[in-house]
Structure 1
Amino acid sequence: MEPKFHAFMFPWFAFGHMIPFLHLANKLAEKGHRVTFLLPKKAQKQLEHHNLFPDSIVFHPLTVPHVNGLPAGAETTSDISISMDNFLSEAMDLTRDQVEAAVHASRPDLIFFDFAHWIPEVAKEHMIKSVSYIIISATAIAHLREPDTPLGVPPPGYPSTKVLCRENDAHAFITMPFFYERLYHQITTGFKKCDVIALRTCREMEGKFCDYVSHQYHKNVLLTGPMLPEPDTSKPLEEQHWNHFLSGFPPGSVIFCALGTQIVLEKDQFQELCLGMELTGLPFLLAVKPPRGSSTVQEGLPEGFEERVKGRGVVWGGWVQQPLILSHPSVGCFVNHCGPGTIWECLLSDCQMVLIPFFGDQVLFTRLLTEEFEVSVEVSREKTGWFSKESLRDAVKSVMDKDSDLGELVRSNHAKLKEILISPGLFAGYVDNFVEALTDLINVKKHD
């Protein structure tokens, strides 16, 4: 029987990072390993229901220090605007003493991290292994480059024949210049100093990018697969809100739009999004956060909008059961921001994909899906980053119209890719190989 190990996990203080780390923790715990999960105090209650093995996965809450510029009580990216991420990053670095004390007390075998680039130093001091686990796409990681490098210049030795960045994408890279500069430093420093790199992807999708990262940093790159949670069949789609609404439309006719937990649109762009959904003439469910300056989505809606779309369109500002909505037979198109977890969920569904990326990593993954795999359509933007209601309508119609050649192409390619991804044992095999590689890594340490 193989020896079991004890892993620490220390993800970036964002639910979009902590939840995938916890999915990985569940996979490790399922195989008998122990995990200590370091996280901000207030986040523990919101994550507890994702912990499927509470006897094996223990939460270790951290006190997030205050830094100038960070609102009082802010502990995760959900508590702040995106422009304040840099301050939260500073606060995370200041938890180092707490992390070191926990490592010293528990003596784990290895520690997973993403943005805390100083973790490898802590690990070496305590003679444990460090794993840089990055949940964004390998495509984006392969394109990491020094700040101020022109967008159109690919990294040296770049593995693709295509340059995935264009001038119109500048908005996605300059909205948070200080944070992206810090992010570049954090990830690349972590890669250089860690014992092994782990990426949340699979070779069938991003193999050449994974090989490139391995070559660039002279490190083994381990793949976990997409690391999606098991479907929760205990909670059916909320009857009151969505099942009744969606079931009133023909199969494959509804547009579902969701832009993730961090996207907060300006009011004029929010209204353009709503009007674009209206212009499609199709039924829709739009699940987004209220626009900037509004406390509810209803406050930001265009004049007369609710009356015009009554019965066929809903704008919702709260949480929705995204995987269950995607699997509803009436939903035929998913408009989203190309976040990595969202994309994996969509690839495993039968929905057509229309993408509106907002940040640099989302832009790069979007180009991979639209231009290389041809399984999706991107909403066109102006140089300012603005997308119009007409460009949104046109993108949706291009995949939803029955006579559309483009729609037929992406539907066919999506079906072929899905068939590969749902191959029996594919994802389980990634997890098995990943855990085996970690065990070997730890055994090497013990024999050094």
Structure 2
Amino acid sequence: MDAPQLQMHIAMYPWLAMGHITTYLHLANKLAKRRHRISFFIPKRTKAKVEHYNLYPHLITFIPITIPHVDGLPPQAETTFDVPLSLATLFMTAMDRTKKDIEPLLHELKPNVVFFDFALWIPSLARSLGIKSLQYITVNVMSVAFIESMKKQCQQNNLVEDDEMNLMNSPPAGFPDSSIKLHAHEVRGLASFMKLEVGGVSFMDHVCTGANLSDAVGFRGCREIEGQYAEFLESFYWKPLLLSGPGLPDPPNSTLEQKWAQWLARFNPGSVIYCAFGSECRMVQDQFKELLLGLELTGFPFLAALKAPIGFESVEEAMPEGFKERVHGRGIVHGGWVQQTLILDHPSIGCFITHCGASSLLEALVNKCQLVMLPNVLDQIFNARMMSSSFKAGVEVEKGEEDGLFTKESVCKAVKTVMDDESEVGRQVRENHLKLRNILSSKDLENTYNDSFCHKLQELLGG
């Protein structure tokens, strides 16, 4: 790889959620690999949780910051991981209050450019210091394109709330993918999210305003998969839109824990269901039970790595009565962390039930396991809809149109559909998954995008 003409110094300040922080840090590693320096603003105690992701400590420097206390947040809370979803918006207030600390740091560090996602005050602050700003958005291009275009259409037509809700049931005018539609419960959830306010500014406007004020906008993704959405979104921004590449996980430098390797080795290739919903998702107990009973109903062996449901300290105390005894020997529900990348790569895994977080989805797409999607919030819903409706590379678990609830039968049905390679749908999702896997695995795709991302950043800086 040729050395870049300009060694950039990049500051990063991601939203205070572990998924955003780790996504930014993975990007930092890609940039540091190309000899660029990174100053990474991170809450003091959270630093220890992510230091192991830093592959280039001589180039990536963590800058610890103190998160101001906000009434309603528990003491010591630093990220959304520390609180229930209902309190997440309070971190926006906390983040806004860090401006007085970030300003002298940027003045002292003098980076060429600062990356941010939700801190809408970054662009004007950076500009006053002669620093460029790039809003690097961690959710997929399609979800932002859908919401931006829908929001614009509502404003242009002066729609009242009921009309706005109706509009969200189908793609906005001109949106490039007619297959993407939302269910009634998803529309209500999205509408509620868009109305959330922090300091008089809606949560969504923190993203939209940041895009309007920044010098450029960036996404994790590639045009081979999300090109139509990127082109559509570019027409809204009228500024550079940079894609950093799919963000493929780095090859693991460890081996699967012996207890999991030995357990998985007991089963036939492609026969085990793996189920996991990321580091922050906590279900209500009724849905937690339905999920476990659905896994039992499939008859397949399974490994479920799940957080204890809301109101419970452990997964064991929330299990259905008699469940543990009935699935003994073929099913495990684990409440702790597991090596997901290595598990998905194991030949015994045939199906992955995922919440469709961007990183989990990508890890699944580069492996051979089939996708069953059970999204929880916002961008996860768009990720799932893109895979199931647009690419037809997986199957979503059916939910109630109005209440958004799933049943053990719907979990079982989705799993059996993708595991049956004789059915038409089963064959279709396998073929389409393979097409996406081949795109993502194509030689030098990631490196080409990473290099192009750096080159366009240098152009933005005038280098």
Q: 1:213: Cα distance to partner?
A: 1.3
How far is 1:154 from its partner? 3.3
Aligned equivalent of 2:158:
none
Instruction: Determine the structure 2 residue equivalent to 1:350.
Output: 368
Structure 2 residue aligned with 1:409:
428
Task: Give the CA deviation at 1:403.
Answer: 2.5
CA distance in 2, matches of 1:174, 1:190: 20
- Determine helix, strand or coil for the equivalent of 1:66: coil
**Contact persistence 1:354–1:376 (CA under 8 A):** yes
Q: Which amino acid aligns with 1:307?
A: E
Residue 153 of structure 1 and its aligned partner are, at CA, apart by: 4.8
1:5, CA displacement in angstroms? 1.1
Pairs within 5 Å for 1:318-329: 318-329=336-347
Query: Does residue 420 of the first structure (1) align with residue 439 of the second (2)?
Result: yes
Residue in structure 2 matched with residue 388 of structure 1 by the alignment: 407
Q: Give the equivalent residue in structure 1 for 2:268.
A: 250
Mapping 1:28-427, distance limit 5 Å: 28-144=31-147, 145-146=150-151, 148=161, 149-150=164-165, 151-170=168-187, 172-173=189-190, 176=193, 179=196, 182-233=202-253, 235-240=254-259, 242-382=260-400, 383-427=402-446
| Post-superposition offset of 1:261 | 1.5
- 1:362 is displaced (CA, Å) by 1.3
Asked if structure 2 preserves the Cα contact closer than 8 Å seen for 1:14 and 1:77, the reply is: yes
Structure 1 spans left out of the alignment, 5+ residues: none
In the alignment of these two chains, the number of paired residues is 442
Letter in 2 for 1:107: K
Deviation per residue, 1:296-320 (Å, 9 max, x gap): 0001000000000000000011111
For the 8 Å contact 1:172–1:358, the answer to whether it is kept is no
Post-superposition Cα deviations, 1:400-428, rounded to whole Å, max 9, x if no partner, equal: 12432211110011112211221101111
Indicate the SS of the match to 1:143.
helix
Shift of 1:368: 1.2
Q: Show CA shifts across 1:19-70 (max 9, x none).
A: 1101111111111110000011111001110001111111001100011111
Q: Matched residues in 2 for 1:126 and 1:394: separation?
A: 57
Is 1:435 the counterpart of 2:445 in the alignment?
no
The amino acid across from 1:199 in the alignment is F
Conservation of the 8 A alpha-carbon contact between 1:336 and 1:355: yes
Contact 1:164 1:364 in 2 (8 A): no
Distance 2:189 2:394 in 1: 19
1:152 corresponds to which letter in structure 2?
N
The separation in 2 between residues aligned to 1:68 and 1:325, in whole angstroms, is 41
Q: Distance in 1 between matches of 2:384 and 2:189?
A: 12
Deviations 1:92-142 (A, max 9, x none): 111011111100011110000011111101110011110110111111111
8 A contact 2:126–2:133 mirrored in 1 = yes
Deviations, residues 343-375 of structure 1 (Å, cap 9, x unaligned):
111110101000011112111121111111110
Matched residue type, 1:397? K
Letter in 2 for 1:197: V
* Identical positions, percent: 43
CA distance in 2, matches of 1:320, 1:175: 33
Deviation, structure 1 residue 177: 5.9
Closer/same/farther in 2, CA of residues 356 and 172 from structure 1, 3 Å limit: farther
TM-score with structure 2 length normalisation?
0.93
- The two structures have a TM-score, normalised by structure 1, of 0.96
1:397 Cα offset (Å): 0.4
* Matched-pair contact (CA < 8 Å) for 2:180–2:386: no
Q: Which runs of 5+ in 2 are unaligned?
A: 155-160
Task: Name the CA shift for 1:368/1:184 in 2 (closer, same or farther; >3 Å).
Answer: same
CA distance in 2, matches of 1:178, 1:269: 27
- Out of 180-189 and 406-415, give the one that drifted further: 180-189
- 1:370-405 Cα offsets, whole Å, 9 max, x none, are 111110000010120110000000000011124322
Classify the secondary structure of the residue corresponding to 2:10: strand
Checking the alignment, whether the CA contact within 8 Å between 1:172 and 1:363 is kept in structure 2 is no
What secondary structure does 2:88 align onto?
Answer: helix
Does the CA contact (< 8 Å) of 1:168 and 1:381 recur in 2?
A: no
- Counterparts of 1:160 and 1:330, CA distance in 2: 35
RMSD, matched Cα: 1.6
How many Å separate the matches in 2 of 1:230 and 1:124? 34
CA contact (8 A) 1:38 1:62 kept: yes
Letter in structure 2 aligned against 1:53: Y
Distance 2:289 2:310 in 1: 12
Do the aligned partners of residues 392 and 79 (structure 1) sit closer, same or farther apart at CA in structure 2, a change above 3 Å counting?
same
